[in-house]
Structure 1
Amino acid sequence: MKVSSPQITAFTEVFRQRSVSEAAAALGVTQSAVTQQLAKLEQRIGSALFVRYRSGLQPTKVAQELFALTDRIDVIEKLVAEKISAYSSLSDGHLSIIANAPRPAMPIIARFKVRYPGVKVTFTLLNWTITMQRLEARDVDIAIVTEPNDIAGTFKSELTRTRLVAMLRSEHSLASRKNLTLAELANEVMILPEEGSLTQRELLRASSLVGVRFSNVIQATTYPVMKEAVLHGLGIGIFLEDSVFPSSEIVSKPVVELDTRFATYVVTTKDKTDLRLVRAFIDESLD
């Protein structure tokens, strides 16, 4: 049984969407058509490609390895289509974007949509660890991420440099201070992102140098969740400066020991930089 182009197309889109119905909508076909093509491919391979959970489809190891190849096929097909159709107006198409913080991603997306209103943009906010995983799996067109790992075959362009700051409610007893120290923060409830994140790693590095330990920690998933926790008075959060939209109820304060500047990049795979939509977004990010 030969693997057909429709099977590869259906699999690739289901992998991206994590949903048969959403893949069918993106491809402009019925759900049953996608299901049939996926079943034929699984029969040909002799292994399941997805595990079904209530939250959606999760790819198996086989699917992850296969997608690394089929995504390259998809890129080549898009390049051919662009050459044939002279896709110069950028009046149609789809771009998938992920980021580990709302800013600077959202302002760039806003500018891009003004210039190219016909392009569908899917934007997902993830923690730093999952952002890197999806980028390495080629499971996205563009990632906007702070201090990404070096991944072979990727292109990155620096957007901004920023530092970590403490964010707290404006009525907090420390809110009037010009800056704070880790020793002062050690006595507070701290709101931090997931273990292994850039923020966690830098905070642990700096605190170990001055002999400070944080024993009262609330761990959140993303910066918006952390911001909500601060707004509700749960504690003090450590954020990348300007990573979330400002609020009159929150103030940010420099932390003496956290003076390192970190770079945020727009990142994609090198082959995708030839796609006009991806190139247009990169150009917009550099304006």
Structure 2
Amino acid sequence: MAISGTGLAAFHAVAQAGGFTKAARARNVSQPTLSAQVRALEEAYGVRLFDRVGRSVKLTPLGQSLQVITARLFAAEDEAEALLAGVRTLSRGHLRIAADSAAHVMPALGRIREKHPGLTFSLTIGNSSDVLTELLNHSADVGVTAKQTSDPRIRSVRLMSDRLVGFLRDDHPFARRDTTPIEAFETQDVVLRERGSITREVFEARLAEAGVRPGHLLEVQTREAVREAVMTGFGIGVIFSSEFREGEGLKSVEITGADLSVAEYAVCLEERRRIPLVRSFMDAVQAD
């Protein structure tokens, strides 16, 4: 049985938009038409791709698996259309970027935008593991991550080195100094990103190497939340040096006695590295 391209396109549109109304608007069709196309696909194979509750929809486990495939399928279709439409001149197009830090990617995007003002961008910020996952799922075209990978599907180019630093409120006892040894973190409360973050992975490894056991550990999901938690008095935060911003009663301190350097990498899928938009990004980040 041949799968209906119309049905797959309708399914993908709804999955991407998170609902039939938004998807119908994006595809410029009526909602009943889109619903009928998805229903026909489900009935043809005797499956359920969405759980429908009122006006909201949620992907079933099978639907989630199918979305991974359709993301690759329609990403390839977009690439073909882009090439045929003349995007190799970079006069127009849309680049999706996943990064573990806005500070590490914005300079490159600024250069690309200045050179090719017709391009548009979307930027997703997550932890280093998320960046690689989005790339492999075709949810992003390119990425910047501190997580090194030997996956042959991914092209990786080393960009720069950064360093982890501590930061704290200016009324913290450590604030009277500019440096502090890693041993001083013994029994100190620490605020860190969630597991999957290179910041956390590297810092916890260095604590273990030094035989240091901190006090309470507060785990948060974003860098902004790390900053807010430190400002509230939950402990010492750890962040990339390039990301720290003075102000709001906060001060950074260099941590000595441990190698806290972290490399950053630009990544793309090996099979897509010659796509003009992708190539332009990889060239731009290496110009930093």
Residues 35 and 116 of structure 1, relative CA distance in 2, 3 Å threshold: farther
Counterpart contact for 2:127–2:198, Cα < 8 Å: no
Q: Identity of paired residues, percent?
A: 27
Q: What amino acid sits opposite 1:82 in the alignment? A: A
CA displacement 1:228-254 (0-9 Å, x = unmatched): 322344321111221x25223433222
Aligned residue in 1 for 2:126: 126
Aligned residue in 2 for 1:225: 225
- Indicate yes or no: 2:138 matched with 1:138: yes
CA displacement 1:197-224 (0-9 Å, x = unmatched): 3222222222222222123121110222
Aligned residue in 1 for 2:190: 190
CA displacement 1:125-160 (0-9 Å, x = unmatched): 123343333333232222211124443411122221
Q: What secondary structure sits across from 2:259 in the alignment?
A: coil
Structure 1 residue runs without a partner (length 5+): none
Aligned residue in 1 for 2:274: 274
Structure 2 residue runs without a partner (length 5+): none
Residues 166 and 44 of structure 1, relative CA distance in 2, 3 Å threshold: farther
> Which stretch of structure 1 is more off in the superposition, 112-121 or 274-283?
112-121
Distance 1:53 1:183 in 2: 54
Aligned residue in 1 for 2:201: 201
Residues 234 and 100 of structure 1, relative CA distance in 2, 3 Å threshold: same
Root-mean-square deviation (CA, aligned residues, Å) is 3.0
- Indicate yes or no: 2:244 matched with 1:239: no
Distance 1:31 1:119 in 2: 30
Aligned residue in 2 for 1:172: 172
Counterpart contact for 1:136–1:151, Cα < 8 Å: no
Q: What secondary structure sits across from 2:110 in the alignment?
A: helix
Counterpart contact for 1:101–1:222, Cα < 8 Å: no
Distance 2:18 2:150 in 1: 26
Aligned residue in 2 for 1:106: 106
Q: What amino acid sits opposite 1:220 in the alignment? A: V
Q: How does 1:40-189 map to 2 (within 5 A)?
A: 40-50=40-50, 59-189=59-189
CA displacement 1:38-88 (0-9 Å, x = unmatched): 33333334333345799x866544344434443443343234323432224
Give how far 1:24 is off.
4.7
> Which stretch of structure 1 is more off in the superposition, 12-21 or 182-191?
12-21
Residues 270 and 14 of structure 1, relative CA distance in 2, 3 Å threshold: farther
- Indicate yes or no: 2:277 matched with 1:264: no
Q: TM-score, normalised by structure 1?
A: 0.83
Q: What secondary structure sits across from 1:155 in the alignment?
A: strand
Give how far 1:18 is off.
4.3
Q: What amino acid sits opposite 2:247 in the alignment? A: S
Aligned residue in 1 for 2:5: 5
Distance 1:36 1:94 in 2: 30
Aligned residue pair count: 285
Give how far 1:23 is off.
4.5
